[in-house]
A and B are shown apart, each in its own frame.
Chain A
């Protein structure tokens, strides 16, 4: 069915888009009206305490009910699946991934807000399969951090689809949903026209946002008069969305002073930002907390590899939790493998974060960072039926992802031999892969 989802051009009139969505919904109803009850598992809804011996009921692509088995009514005609002994958690949300042969701006300029990652993605890239095998159901796909602004990101639902449009989340007004990837620190430095210092980096970013403000003001002053409108500028258009809060900045940053620089520029221009990687977050946890900015952490197995990650340690998760910061996690795939995303939350627990906060970090916190918290991130009535079935404790090394469900459809099943090969690795099953292309060389990720 997903193959039938056509591209909705951004210039399509709103009514037409609405009609399109309505037709799609009718087609969906006509072809599928399935209710499935998963019974006996430990349910971890995230937004409430874990439920021992719980039941999850899904109808078509939505969650119908979740709760203790003795209080959830299973509708007549529902298919019942006994998953006793298993653990069900919401589908994981990866707020920062590079699967899909992503690309954005190139070496011609350090700021490329006009570049869209969606124009480069190969939905047949094996990274999507690895992500489903790891229990990821939603991901923010972004270009690398080799530019101060490497372009527009895309939020994808990991359905099985033939086109990037069929995977894309849409905003309420029908646009393809995504953020803006930015970076500071060392990765985005280079020979001119790239900045040679941190101050130059910040100056270039400020100049760009000043231009975007002026562009926005011209449009406002034109007040609908085509003769007074500024010439259309794709990059500034995207940055106006950033200024208006409709497009979140996803900001690569590691060192404590670079983190504070992000907060300073955000305050000047008033955009919404998520801090990504944030190796030295624990050093400025209070500043991050005061700014009420969320943090998407990566926890890798040793410090260093580059200067801005030299102080990476295992301290940040509990420190940020105690400071009241909204903490999520990301794979940064290829940096860490999507199949091992649960491990990231487990390592956070190892460092002293609470289990509840760590699970939230893999699910609901990521949903909030992408502005999708109304649709995904928890097991709640009315939300998308995105969930994963685990063989045990989400944070145990002995646990495997048994099944991944997206919008009520099974997209990964460890019992399926082909899916098992994806999960385990096997000859030829993980190609083509953006990892195989080394993703712009080593220097621009993370």
Chain B
């Protein structure tokens, strides 16, 4: 089935299922991985009104009469892609479907992801068909601050329907990725140091802005500063309300990000981190989580030293990390976190940690673990169904449930 047809089929399915959403749905799995608890053999999950109402061994969970029951060899929580540009980046890769990066200025934290997200993008449906139910998507690496990110479910016809966190993080880039490219009509930043100086200057300005906003108004004062969207976004970062997601790959750039975090005290999340294995101690000491580059990302430029074994090393060091599909400028236009985690398993990461890296660990780093990332009573009814070991190349995704609604029945 081609992408357009599958999108239509999914939309149709979603429409039909939505009518039944008020009802419950049950899923029976030969093995159910709650992720936050031990695997359950012959397990049952009941989802009611979009939330998990019950989970346990078949004998202990009763399935209400008349409820649709889905069956699978393996059931996991709906997968989470911890860093993507899908929905802003479209699959056609033509100028008019590439909204993930804007090169007119180096620092634009006021650019909101929700204003560019296309919920009907075929790549969203593609990810959904592999069991991905939540994506952290938004502005791509490629400018010092390229814009904001958001967290969304992969079902829904509009961003308003699908989004769960409209402003998740502010996306920054350091290293060569921040250096201005020739066609962009600017000359600066021309190197690493200049990029960092520009970012520090902007954060200092934002601090001043915040202080002025919160200062008591007296007669001599000119009053609060005029509202500035850019400063508002950075003030939220400095206040700790919104993490700064910093894309860096080289070991020295990772350390630079840690240095800035120490100077300004924002909540730092490292993105990419191809050379993380060289600075494990520093990352651990700084207690900073990592959204690791796709395992199968291409090893060139700043990623030339990337290793398939980095996930296992991060796990051994006790550094929080999750998997991402990342940003692709060409083919494939998106990657699938299920496959990225699988390659990490091939290179020494445990099955359990790999599954956590695309479920609960991702949810924790994204701050949405109260809703998604594990199969627990009260959490969103987001499930991924497989006909075998999810990481095995030759297994298939056979169904996806979001908020208690079956949104994919493709075999893929």
Contacts and interface: CB of A to CB of B under 8 A. Distances in A.
Contact of B333 (A304, A343, A425): A304
B308 A335 contact: no
A396 interface: yes
A425 B305 CA distance: 7
> A304, A306, A433 — which one has the most chain B CB atoms within 10 A of its CB?
A304
A423 B299 CA distance: 13
Interface string A292-304: 0000000011111
B298 A435 contact: yes
Contact of A302 (B298, B301, B306, B333): B333
B229 interface: no
B359 interface: no
Contact of A350 (B306, B309, B393): B393
B3 A396 contact: no
Interface centre among A315, A397, A428 (most CB of B within 10 A): A397
B176 to A, nearest CB: 12
B343 interface: yes
Interface stretch (B60-68, B194-202, B334-342): B334-342
A347 B393 contact: yes
Contacts of B299: 337, 425, 430, 433, 435-436
A301 B396 contact: no
A267 interface: no
Interface in B71-110: 90-94
B301 A304 contact: no
A302 B412 CA distance: 12
A305 interface: yes
Nearest to A429: B305
B92 A307 contact: yes
B228 interface: no
Interface stretch (B138-146, B211-219, B260-268, B323-331): B323-331
B291 to A, nearest CB: 18
B278 interface: yes
Contacts of A397: 342-343, 345-346, 391-393
Contacts of A189: none
A426 interface: yes
B184 to A, nearest CB: 16
Instruction: Please report whether the interface of chain A is mostly helix, strand, loop or mixed according to DSSP.
Output: loop
Contacts of A313: 1-3
B403 interface: no
B306 A425 contact: yes
Nearest to B278: A427
Interface string A324-355: 00000000001111011001001101100000
A305 B328 contact: yes
B235 to A, nearest CB: 37
A349 B93 contact: no
Nearest to B335: A301
Interface in B109-142: 122-123, 126
B409 to A, nearest CB: 16
A314 B309 contact: no
A346 B331 contact: no
A350 B90 CA distance: 26
Given A397-B346, A442-B329, A430 B91 contact: no
A305 B333 contact: yes
Contact of B412 (A314, A349, A446): A314
A424 B309 contact: yes
Contacts of A431: 304
Interface string A385-406: 0000000000111111000000
A194 to B, nearest CB: 19
A310 B332 contact: no
A301 B91 CA distance: 12
Contact of B393 (A307, A335, A346, A400): A346
A311 B412 CA distance: 15
Interface string A412-446: 00000000000111111011010111100011011
B304 A433 contact: yes
Contacts of B333: 302-305
Nearest to A428: B305
Nearest to B91: A304
B386 to A, nearest CB: 12
B412 A304 contact: no
A309 interface: yes
Interface in B340-357: 342-343, 345-347
Contacts of B280: none
B395 interface: yes
A343 B298 contact: no
Nearest to B331: A305
Contact of B296 (A304, A337, A399, A442): A337
A442 B330 contact: yes
Contacts of A337: 296, 298-299
B241 to A, nearest CB: 34
Contacts of B328: 305
Contacts of B306: 425
Contacts of B346: 397-400
A425 B308 contact: yes
Given A350-B396, A433-B299, A310 B305 contact: no
B307 interface: yes
A436 B331 CA distance: 17
Contact of A305 (B91, B392, B394): B91
A410 B365 CA distance: 45
B275 interface: yes
Contacts of A435: 298-300, 304
Given A302-B334, A347-B393, A425-B299, A340 B309 contact: no
B300 A304 contact: no
Contact of A396 (B126, B278, B301, B393): B393
Contacts of B330: 305-306, 335, 442-443, 445-446
A301 B308 contact: no
A427 B275 contact: yes
A311 B3 contact: yes
Nearest to A420: B309
Given A303-B333, A304-B93, A424-B307, A334 B345 contact: no
Contact of B331 (A309, A339, A343, A423): A309
A433 B300 contact: yes
Interface string B239-281: 0000000000000000000000000000000000001001000
Nearest to A283: B2
B298 A334 contact: yes
A129 B90 CA distance: 35
Contact of B334 (A301, A399, A423): A301
A303 B122 contact: yes
A302 B308 contact: no
Contacts of B342: 397
A434 to B, nearest CB: 9
Contacts of B309: 424-425
B346 to A, nearest CB: 5
A436 B306 CA distance: 12
A304 B93 CA distance: 7
Given A305-B332, A306-B331, A430-B299, A311 B392 contact: no
Given A337-B296, A427-B278, A302 B393 contact: no
Contacts of A443: 330
B392 A340 contact: no
14 contacts: A300-B331, A301-B332, A302-B126, A303-B3, A305-B93, A305-B328, A309-B331, A310-B92, A315-B1, A339-B308, A396-B392, A397-B345, A398-B345, A427-B278
Chain A to chain B: the 10 pairs with minimum beta-carbon distance, closest first:
A304-B91, A425-B307, A305-B331, A346-B393, A300-B332, A302-B332, A305-B333, A304-B333, A435-B300, A301-B332
Given A304-B93, A349-B394, A426-B307, 5 more contacts: A304-B333, A350-B395, A425-B307, A433-B300, A446-B330
